[in-house]
Structure 1
Amino acid sequence: MAPIAVETPQQQAPVRGPIDYKEAFITGPKAFKRDIEEHGSENQAPASYPHYLPTWDPKVYPPLQPFEHYEHGKDADPTFPHLFANGTHRPLAPKIGSEVNGVQLSKLSDKGKDELALFIAQRKVAVFRDQDLADIPIQEALDFGGYFGRHHIHVSSGQPAGYPEVHLVHRGAEDTIARDYFTTRTNSITWHSDVTFEAQPPGTTFLYVLDGPEAGGDTIYASMTEAYNRLSPEFQKRLHGLKAIHSGFEQAENSRSRGGVVRREPIATEHPLVRTHPVTGEKALFVNAQFTRQIVGLKKEESDFLLKFLFNHIAMGADFQVRLKWEKGSVVVWDNRVAVHTAILDWDDGARRHLARITPQAERPYETPFEERK
């Protein structure tokens, strides 16, 4: 397949991959019930943060332009004296995930933020409890997140009015999507790293809860570093040098089909199958079933066979995954370069699930030469 340009929109979508784009949390302006969200229903309370309710501004943006990303994790003190001056942390699983208490993210100094970037690169994901990001002004939350990179504006999601840089994950009260979805599907799992079709996908990323069900709606994360490490040296070596096409066309088509917006024309971008983290130097698989469509230079059957193996390898890797439960005041921070995630659609009591994501972009993915581990 000829290389796909990355700086300009494509006129036609690339060939379909081995697994179709799948969106379990289908929301949009057609499904949004503002009256229930603002005033509640017989069974559900009003939204706790009405100023975070989604809007779909039809404003169209030009293609994203390249920028020079500065990686603050390189400046961090590896002993974390500023990040954990008053807080504690404990691992949730050996290979991925930590829980942090006593650290207020919004109050971190620049040195503390540098250490946060390094800590998340090492642990891949961490949940911070008793945070105030949801309660401070939205612009202050954005100012905090903007330290870690240029804000990404999502092509189709709902946004708080006036703040297009905030991506909202929203399932409204009294929504029947779970009942409807499982009439045609057996599961809701959608492993992905966010918007990998962009030339410069996200790095250190923040997701904070606004409302959620009493139980359910958890998020599972998997370490793509450990997924790479589990492969044999010969298999690792074969993956090096390969590139895959990541497509944003299906996400745009999905939004249009439900009456949503498409703020930038969709693109497809080539990225290496194995990328190197700029701070830790660790190698990680960089493929995901939502956006990765084809391996460049392979025939379709060959590409589908290899991608299916990698997708299954990641999905079945329960021993390098962690399941995070949302609580009021929780903020999950992860490194989109070395972790994939999936939400869980497992509650059907009509409770609202409402979260906000701040998504700083990072460097363009790159790989360094293969090195066999000693």
Structure 2
Amino acid sequence: MAPSAQPDDAKSSLPSNPDHLKFKRQIEIEGPNSTAKDPHYLPTWNPTQKYPPLEPFEYVERGKDADPSFKDLLLEGSTLEDITPSMGSEIHGVQLSKLTNAGKDQLALLVAQRKVVAFRDQDFTELPIKQALDFGGYFGRHHIHPTSGSPEGYPEMHIVHRGPHDTTFDTLFENRLTSTSWHSDVSNEKQPPGITFLYALETPKVGGDTGFANLAEAYNRLSPAIKERLHGLEAVHSGFEQAEGSRKKGGVVRREPVASVHPLVRTHPATGEKALFVNTGFTRNIVGLKKEESDALLKFLLDHISNGGDFQARVSWKPRTVVVWDNRVTSHTALLDWSSAASRRHLARITPQAEQPYETPYVK
């Protein structure tokens, strides 16, 4: 099965210019009348940025030995409210940039447990970009996205951007019924991301939410017979289609794409939870199965994830919001439901890589 990646939070908008050799800056595309509130965060596409293949690195799981009382994270006066019973929380009264290392470790554990946590009234947009990156670097090596735009001089920062009057996605619904496209970020890498940070610079007044699915609960819902059958199976996750799509749009490919083989069911190192690890953006086929068999099983699993409204959460964006999720046990989708005529949606993502996905034995 080879679903193609669709416009979503894994990409920033590209100018439709076939000249891929030109250094593109969003601020220049918009011209002197740009209304961007944070122009230094606007994306650039630099064709001279070329990076070698990623090398393995030793990942440290920050949440594994964290204090489960969260006393260094949920400080006095802070509030935590769950978005749904199975996943998602919203926290007020905690300033992420001020956390101690103990607080950061507890953050990693809380996010692994709740899957996605929204922090309001954060100061990330007021920090120098390097300082924001330094914060995220505590949780793993920064992933440099091979095809996305980034602030000039900071290739580690992934920018999600759709500006006023941007018509890039206006033709989406000519051939599709929905913008929904569930994915786990760059799961084609040997060591895909773990704890991930996305923060809002500008957002529509209403719309542009992000949906999240709990892949651990998706696994739990399966019958014992299906769970047992999935264990031991592996799937190919490919980034080649994403790279080719960028080239066709005149975009950059900063690192040559790779494909990796990962287990269909992975284990989280901090919680021990098992979770499905397949997604429409990057999962192509199941190793060892014939095409018809692979297509049918992948369709069943992907439909199960996308249709599972009772193990999903929807997070709304407001300026100064930082949303933190665990990419290992969630899938997410952007929701393109607002008009670009008058609203800018501008987000910045910090994407620390985690461990190579692994599977522990099935236990009845």
Shorter-chain TM-score tier: over 0.9
Q: Where does residue 22 of structure 1 map in the other structure?
A: 6
2:27 corresponding residue in structure 1: 34
Displacement of 1:85: 1.4
Quote the offset at 1:38 in angstroms. Answer: 6.0
Please name the residue that 2:87 is paired with: 96
Note the alpha carbon deviations across 1:81-125, whole angstroms, 9 max, x for none: 000113211111011000000000011000000000000000000
Aligned residues of 2:91 and 2:118 also touching (Cα < 8 A):
yes
Q: What does residue 355 of structure 1 align with?
A: 347
User: 2:128 matched to 1:142?
Assistant: no
Deviation of 1:145 after TM superposition, in Å, equals: 0.3
Figure out how many residues of one structure are paired with residues of the other and give that number: 352
1:369 matched to 2:355: no
Q: Residue 105 of structure 1 contacts residue 131 of structure 1 at CA under 8 Å; is this kept in 2?
A: yes
TM-score normalised by structure 1 residue count:
0.91
Partner of 1:75, secondary structure, is coil
Q: CA deviation at 1:37?
A: 4.2
* One of 58, 62, 67 as aligned partner of 2:57: 67
- Equivalents in 2 of 1:33, 1:180: separation in Å? 21
- C-alpha change, 1:133 and 1:291, in structure 2 (3 Å) is same
1:4 aligns with none
* 3-state SS in 1 of match to 2:132: helix
Check the 8 A contact 1:40/1:47 in 2, yes or no: no
Is contact 2:188–2:239 with CA below 8 Å preserved after alignment?
yes
- Distance (whole Å) between structure 2 residues aligned to residue 79 and residue 33 of structure 1: 44
Which of 219, 222, 229 is the equivalent residue of 1:228? 219
- Deviation of 1:161 after TM superposition, in Å, equals 0.5
Q: What secondary structure does 1:207 align onto?
A: strand
**Secondary structure of residue in 1 paired with 2:133:** helix
Q: Which amino acid aligns with 1:19?
A: P
SS of 1:65's equivalent in the other structure is coil
Structure 2 match to 1:255: 246
1:293-347 CA-to-partner distances (Å, cap 9, x unmatched) read: 0000000110000000000000000000000000111000000000110000011
* Matched residue type, 1:27: S
Question: Matches of 1:367 and 1:184 in 2, distance apart?
Answer: 38
Distance 1:264 1:159, change over 3 A: same
RMSD of equivalent CA atoms: 1.4
Give the % identical residues. 62
Alpha-carbon shift at residue 30 of structure 1 (Å): 3.3
2:206 aligned residue:
215
Greater displacement, 230-239 / 349-358: 349-358
Does residue 82 in structure 1 map to residue 72 in structure 2? yes
For structure 1, the residue ranges without an aligned partner over 5 or more in a row are: 1-16
Aligned-partner Cα distance in 1 for 2:103–2:5: 38
Q: Is the deviation greater in 115-124 or in 81-90?
A: 81-90
Q: In the superposition, relative to structure 1, how do residues 104 and 39 fare at CA in structure 2: closer, same or farther (>3 Å)?
A: farther
The normalised TM-score by structure 2 is 0.94
